[in-house]
Structure 1
Amino acid sequence: MVDLTPLRTSRDFRLLLVAGTVTYLGAMVTYVALPWQLYALTGSNLAVGMLGAVELVPLVVFGLWGGAIADHYDRRTVLVTTTVAQVALTALLLVNAHLPTPQVWALYVVGALLSAVTAAHRPSREALLPRVVRHDELPGALALSSIGMQTGLLAGPAIGGLILASGGATWAYAVDVVGLSVAAVLYVGLRPAPVTDGGTPPSVAGIVEGIRYAAGRRDLLGTYVIDMVAMFLAMPVVLFPAFATDVLRQPELLGLLYSAGTAGSLVATATSGWTARVHHHGRVVVVAAACWGLATAAAGLASAAWLVLVFFALAGAADMVSALFRQIIWNQTIPDERRGRLAGIEMLSYSVGPLGGQVRAGVVADGFGVRTSIVSGGVLCAVGVVATAAWLREFWGYDARTDEHAVRERDLREERARRADETLPGADAVRPDAT
């Protein structure tokens, strides 16, 4: 089962976990409410689609800039500041929804600003995680964080739908404001987290240096490329409405298609205790990503609805295993002074792939059919992942016990733990890595 040690040993990890889970829940409520309100006001699918377009550029720009900020300023301060900004922006959505005539332009403007602030927030949270748990507790901490995220992804839209049906967009935004306010208070309770040696001042040059560092390490490059290949070639979500209605001829299955992958991911994380005993992380990422593709292809071939759901659940489980081990590599090998910038790069790597994958899936489906799009994408994913592993042999051979970056970080964090234990004897609630 999932390793619960970080919950018992780290007060700051407990605060991060609860704050992150509450944030995801509220964010998913707004994620449902914002396009719902926009469609209700305009009656246009194009207008709803344009919301994603105006959110994309802030996501890219502030994801990278937020990483640079996380490598210079106290990460607790960044978390508190960006969360308060999210509270203020969501409150503006609430006020706009309460007007006799809500303004459509406000939804676009605030949506873009929320995308920017959220993108700036996430690198600091991800960069702080390795600081609040011991090096050997990272697999369990990452699994628990994933459970919190998946809980929000699974329950948030359902809660949002119920609120919208009963109280409308005003109440949906109000729930998010309350949740974000709770998260802000929890972040205030964290201990200060200044960057080691003052960090690198935010700049374009610093961002470029982070990109060069990531590209120069083939173990890190493998984590990015494998995920983008897998998501670009085998992302079927955009086809679910057509798959349920036109292929399976059971439109009532649409909700289950969306939730099957998340259910598989939850099972994978809830049974992830074995991950701490694995050392060849690159191989697990490759195998799991290939299994994601093959399970997706099998779902596209299956004719029985229950079998389709089983294969999509298996695909979700495989994707989560791949994600967990990618995160372990990131958090156990990246130096603290670069952790924020690389967290921004990571966020882009797992955001761009799915967006491109939806375009690919739609184009192939229109030209050759829904089943062909899903099956061909899954098969090509497996082939592409294997080809990438053959190209990046260092990634396939990665061993956490001997990798120079993993050994350096492990020794450095053990030394910090030793110094902290000598300075604060008996203070088991104080995390040794938060120097």
Structure 2
Amino acid sequence: MQRVALDWAVLEASGSAVLVGIATMLQFGPLLVFGLLGGAVVDRFSRRSLLVLTQGIASALSVVLGILHLSGAATLPVLLVASAARGLLTVVDNPARHAIVGDLVGRDLMPAAISLNASVFQLGRLIGPVLSGAAIASIGAGWSFVANGVACALMVIGLLRSRPDEMFEEPRSASDDGIGQGLATVRAIPLVGWTIMLVGIVSVSALNLPVLLTSLARESPGTGALDYGLFTTLCAVGALIGAVLLAHRPFVSFTRVVGAAAVLGVVQTLLALPDQLVTAACLVGVGFFGQTFLTSSNAFVQRSVPSATRGRVMALYLMLLLGGQALGGPLAGLVVEHLGLRQAIAASGLAALTAALATAMVVRSGRGPVVSEDTGPRSAVER
């Protein structure tokens, strides 16, 4: 709700789509620049305490922004400063929210918990923009900020009510070498490195649907805006189905990660076919296999690394995931403009498929050292 309301508020205050893009950059840019440093902080201190702090600050920022907007005092500089403040919080908040999953449920239940979290996230993608749009139209965008402030406060209450003595936290070490230890962990567990590399490549090549879908909607015979909403909904439905099914079948492996990336590439390549029924089916498939790939890769990486460096490894994972999407969007736009829409869609799918097959071949040939694919209770380092 807040993302939609903030974009709308910036657009109203400035009338500039460029400034809307700048506001988005301010929300995600700090994580790309300082992500590894944030991961080191997450591994040094209690993740529960860090999240209480970051979510508490986020709650206060949202409520204050909501009050300012409702009172008419939320000028463009205020909105941009709020965007930058949220972006700085994500440097610690994002890796902490990923890494704390294992602390809360333990290594065995981690894949199911990550899938459950993904299903809730997809529900938010479906419901949040609708609620925010209704709020903007009826009572004003400021109430979306207030609603998000309440949501963050509820997370703080939940964290405070959790019992640290029942969590699966491992002792923090003050003697490691900060950021370097996270990179050393990735080098020591080759399949984790290959997985994170594949996530980065697929993010650049295939996870750029907003650019492709807007162009596809513009070419469709119906109403462009309505078609874009329908396309996005079909993807979200597929992603929700994938997340729910993975929550019931939580086993993860490197093979599943690579397989999901390969099938995603095939389905996205077929999306280039000019047939409405094929387009609808492929959009659901892209959502399903895209979510399967991201959830499986997330769970595989987290279960394969020791808790002491999980925050730094997940920070690197998120940097490549978000950085890849940031790079992939403009790249996809250039391909659409110079080669055509259908060619751009096919190229994005083929690139993901090629990356998956190449990764599998390199690992199987022995040039990429392999550890066991089994993600049992012990970490790959411990095995």
Closer/same/farther in 2, CA of residues 213 and 248 from structure 1, 3 Å limit: farther
The secondary structure found in structure 1 opposite 2:109 is helix
**Is 1:349–2:320 an aligned residue pair?**
yes
Contact 2:39 2:92 in 1 (8 A): yes
Q: 1:312 aligns with which of 278, 283, 301?
A: 283
Provide the rounded CA distance (Å) in 2 between the counterparts of 1:141 and 1:404: 15
- Corresponding pairs, count: 377
Q: Percent identity?
A: 25
1:153 aligned residue: 125
Gaps of 5+ in 1: 1-28, 411-435
Question: 1:355 Cα shift?
Answer: 1.4
Question: 1:172 Cα shift?
Answer: 1.3
1:385 aligned residue: 356
Question: 1:72 Cα shift?
Answer: 1.4
Closer/same/farther in 2, CA of residues 325 and 150 from structure 1, 3 Å limit: same
1:329-348 matches, cutoff 5 A: 329-348=300-319
2:218 aligned residue: 245
Measured against aligned partners, the alpha-carbon deviations of 1:353-391 in whole angstroms (never above 9, x if no partner) come to: 111111111000011111111112111221122112223
1:124-203 matches, cutoff 5 A: 124-192=96-164, 196-200=170-174
TM-score (norm 2): 0.90
Question: 1:61 Cα shift?
Answer: 3.7
Closer/same/farther in 2, CA of residues 380 and 122 from structure 1, 3 Å limit: closer
Provide the rounded CA distance (Å) in 2 between the counterparts of 1:225 and 1:365: 25
Question: 1:54 Cα shift?
Answer: 2.7
Contact 1:282 1:396 in 2 (8 A): no
**Is 1:123–2:99 an aligned residue pair?**
no
Contact 2:32 2:322 in 1 (8 A): no
The secondary structure found in structure 2 opposite 1:198 is coil
Question: 1:32 Cα shift?
Answer: 0.3
1:90 aligned residue: 62
**Is 1:368–2:342 an aligned residue pair?**
no
The secondary structure found in structure 1 opposite 2:275 is coil
Provide the rounded CA distance (Å) in 2 between the counterparts of 1:179 and 1:355: 27
Question: 1:139 Cα shift?
Answer: 2.3
Measured against aligned partners, the alpha-carbon deviations of 1:316-360 in whole angstroms (never above 9, x if no partner) come to: 111122222212322222111111111211211221111111111
Contact 1:83 1:183 in 2 (8 A): yes
Contact 1:86 1:118 in 2 (8 A): no
Measured against aligned partners, the alpha-carbon deviations of 1:145-201 in whole angstroms (never above 9, x if no partner) come to: 211221222211111111111111211111111111111111111223695333337
**Is 1:260–2:231 an aligned residue pair?**
no
Question: 1:138 Cα shift?
Answer: 2.3
Contact 1:90 1:177 in 2 (8 A): yes
1:207 aligned residue: 179
Contact 1:72 1:201 in 2 (8 A): no
The secondary structure found in structure 1 opposite 2:379 is helix
Contact 1:59 1:115 in 2 (8 A): yes
Moved more, 400-409 or 157-166: 400-409
Contact 1:76 1:191 in 2 (8 A): no
After superposition, the CA RMSD in angstroms is: 2.5
Question: 1:35 Cα shift?
Answer: 1.0
Contact 1:283 1:397 in 2 (8 A): no
2:204 aligned residue: 232
Amino acid aligned to 2:233: S
Provide the rounded CA distance (Å) in 1 between the counterparts of 2:377 and 2:160: 36
Amino acid aligned to 1:316: G
Closer/same/farther in 2, CA of residues 82 and 341 from structure 1, 3 Å limit: same
Closer/same/farther in 2, CA of residues 91 and 62 from structure 1, 3 Å limit: farther
Closer/same/farther in 2, CA of residues 253 and 339 from structure 1, 3 Å limit: same
TM-score (norm 1): 0.80
Question: 1:71 Cα shift?
Answer: 0.9
Amino acid aligned to 1:214: V
Closer/same/farther in 2, CA of residues 177 and 401 from structure 1, 3 Å limit: closer
Measured against aligned partners, the alpha-carbon deviations of 1:261-290 in whole angstroms (never above 9, x if no partner) come to: 221111112222664456xx1111111101
Contact 2:102 2:168 in 1 (8 A): no
Contact 2:2 2:148 in 1 (8 A): yes
Provide the rounded CA distance (Å) in 2 between the counterparts of 1:69 and 1:201: 13
Closer/same/farther in 2, CA of residues 315 and 256 from structure 1, 3 Å limit: same
1:430 aligned residue: none
2:79 aligned residue: 107
Amino acid aligned to 1:322: F
Closer/same/farther in 2, CA of residues 295 and 145 from structure 1, 3 Å limit: same
Moved more, 235-244 or 190-199: 190-199
**Is 1:36–2:11 an aligned residue pair?**
no
Closer/same/farther in 2, CA of residues 218 and 407 from structure 1, 3 Å limit: closer
2:244 aligned residue: 270
The secondary structure found in structure 1 opposite 2:44 is coil
Contact 1:207 1:341 in 2 (8 A): yes
**Is 1:48–2:20 an aligned residue pair?**
yes
2:50 aligned residue: 78
Provide the rounded CA distance (Å) in 2 between the counterparts of 1:274 and 1:30: 30
Provide the rounded CA distance (Å) in 2 between the counterparts of 1:222 and 1:348: 15
